[in-house]
């Protein structure tokens, strides 16, 4: 019915020149309707099996009118949370978009819709992650920064690029040993609306998985670095406090194990029932390095250290 390449009238004309033919006009369909599956394909198969008999066209009554895509209503876009254990990230994406996996969300408003939101976390630098995507998507040279966005003290670097003649907006930052990336590829006519309704909220929401628990782990490590053992002991749960015995017990453990942290990060997160495990690399005094593992539990709405191990 809707075919600018071979309009229906051409089919009628062709049928008039053939000794044995049947003409059908499929409602709401465009070019190339017979390949694949569905009503047109079934009728084509029936004709090829018996060219002398008109195929049963009852299925055409069920095809219905064409489905037009209405203009974008950015105000109707709702966001919902997601978590990706493999990339140690959590964030938001538009409700109704398809979860393709690995932090890729497809709008799929039509078969030709290339609108996609990408949210990524990787144990790398932001520059390395940017280089990776510029190369993966064949964007040419690395784009120049288009500005910054501050979210609760976290600074994101913004970029504007092109992917197959479509706007590709990107934001990157580093947090807790992870490089974080948000990318939105959109139609030029919808870019500004989707930038405000999807891209910026996705940037604001993306963070490492279980960040509140990791923040408590950072507070514990900072207290140890400052030799504020009373504060570090306070950040332990009752079970670990009992195991240590007292503030002095924690201080004695620190001295016995020569554990003097200088800097650290927790890029890896493992979620368990009633517990979060954060792991990373810690640099100790004397330029020594070790693997640090903290187990944290929720105690009356506050995250507390339930155990720690250094390797």
Residue 95 maps to a domain: yes
Q: And the tokens for 212?
A: 């509140």
pLDDT for 144 beyond 70: yes
Three-state DSSP class for residue 219: helix
Looking at the structure, tell me whether residues 103 and 25 fall in a common domain.
no
Q: Report yes or no: 77 and 97 within 8 Å, Cβ to Cβ.
A: no
What's residue 66's pLDDT? 67
Residue 68 maps to a domain: no
Phi, psi of 27 (to 5 degrees): -70, 135
Find the domain containing 203 and state its range: 74-208
Domain end, chosen from 185, 208, 231, is at 208
Residue 67 maps to a domain: no
Strands of the chain, DSSP E:
79-84, 89-94, 98-101, 104-106, 116-122, 145-151, 154-163, 166-175, 178-185, 207-208, 261-264, 268-272, 275-284, 288-299, 302-310
The predicted-structure confidence for 194-238, as pLDDT tens digits, reads as follows: 999 999 999 999 999 999 999 999 999 999 999 999 999 999 999
Task: Say how many C-beta atoms besides its own lie within 10 A of residue 108's C-beta.
Answer: 15
d(CA 307, CA 297): 9
Q: What is the mean pLDDT of residues 250-276?
A: 95
Which residues are within 8 A (CB) of 204 and not within 5 positions of it... i.e. 6 or more apart?
Answer: 151
- Select the more confidently predicted residue: 152 or 4: 152
Residue 69 maps to a domain: no
pLDDT for 70 beyond 80: no
Domain CATH code at residue 195: 3.40.1000.10
Residue 186 maps to a domain: yes
Looking at the structure, tell me whether residues 120 and 184 fall in a common domain.
yes
d(CA 233, CA 248): 9
Three-state DSSP class for residue 191: helix
The predicted-structure confidence for 8-42, as pLDDT tens digits, reads as follows: 888 889 888 998 889 988 887 766 555 556 888 89
H/E stretch holding 42:
helix 39-49
Task: Say how many C-beta atoms besides its own lie within 10 A of residue 180's C-beta.
Answer: 26
Q: What is the mean pLDDT of residues 77-95?
A: 96
Single out the residue of 254, 242, 223 nearest to residue 306, CA to CA.
242
The predicted-structure confidence for 167-176, as pLDDT tens digits, reads as follows: 999 999 999 9
**What's this model's pTM, rounded to 2 decimal places?**
0.76
DSSP letter for 236, please. Answer: B
Beta bridge partners of 261: 284
d(CA 208, CA 211): 6
* Mean residue pLDDT across the chain: 92
pLDDT for 73 beyond 90: no
Residue 43 maps to a domain: yes
Looking at the structure, tell me whether residues 146 and 227 fall in a common domain.
no
Residue 2 maps to a domain: no
Looking at the structure, tell me whether residues 251 and 282 fall in a common domain.
yes
Q: What is the tally of structural domains in the chain?
A: 3
Three-state DSSP class for residue 55: coil
């Amino acid at each position: 019915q809707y075919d600018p390449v071979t309009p229906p009238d051409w089919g009628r004309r062709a049928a008039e020149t053939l000794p044995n033919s049947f003409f059908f006009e499929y409602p709401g369909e465009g070019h190339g309707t017979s390949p694949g599956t569905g009503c047109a394909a079934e009728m084509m198969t029936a004709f090829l099996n018996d060219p002398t008999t008109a195929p049963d066209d009852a299925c055409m009554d069920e095809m219905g009118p064409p489905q037009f895509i209405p203009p974008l209503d950015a105000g109707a876009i709702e966001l919902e949370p997601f978590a990706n254990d493999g990339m140690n990230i959590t964030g938001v994406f538009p409700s109704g978009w398809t979860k393709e996996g690995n932090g890729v969300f497809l709008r799929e408003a039509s078969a030709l819709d290339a609108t996609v939101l990408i949210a990524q976390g990787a144990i790398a630098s932001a520059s390395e992650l940017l280089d990776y995507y510029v190369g993966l998507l064949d964007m040419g040279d690395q784009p120049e920064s288009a500005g910054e966005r501050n979210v609760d003290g976290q600074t994101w670097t913004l970029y504007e690029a092109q992917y197959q003649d479509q706007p590709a907006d990107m934001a990157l930052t580093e947090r807790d040993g992870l490089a974080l990336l948000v990318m939105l590829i959109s139609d030029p006519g919808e870019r500004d609306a989707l930038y405000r309704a999807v891209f910026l909220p996705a940037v604001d929401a993306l963070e490492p998985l279980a960040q509140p628990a990791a923040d408590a782990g950072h507070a514990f490590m900072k207290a140890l670095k400052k030799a504020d053992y009373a504060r570090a002991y306070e950040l332990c749960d009752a079970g670990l406090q009992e195991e240590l015995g007292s503030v002095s017990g924690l201080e004695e453990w620190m001295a016995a194990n020569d554990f003097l942290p200088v800097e650290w990060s927790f890029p890896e997160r493992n979620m368990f029932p009633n517990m979060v495990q954060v792991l990373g690399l810690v640099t100790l005094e004397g330029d020594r390095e070790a693997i640090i593992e903290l187990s944290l539990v929720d105690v009356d709405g506050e995250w507390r250290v339930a155990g720690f191990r250094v390797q």
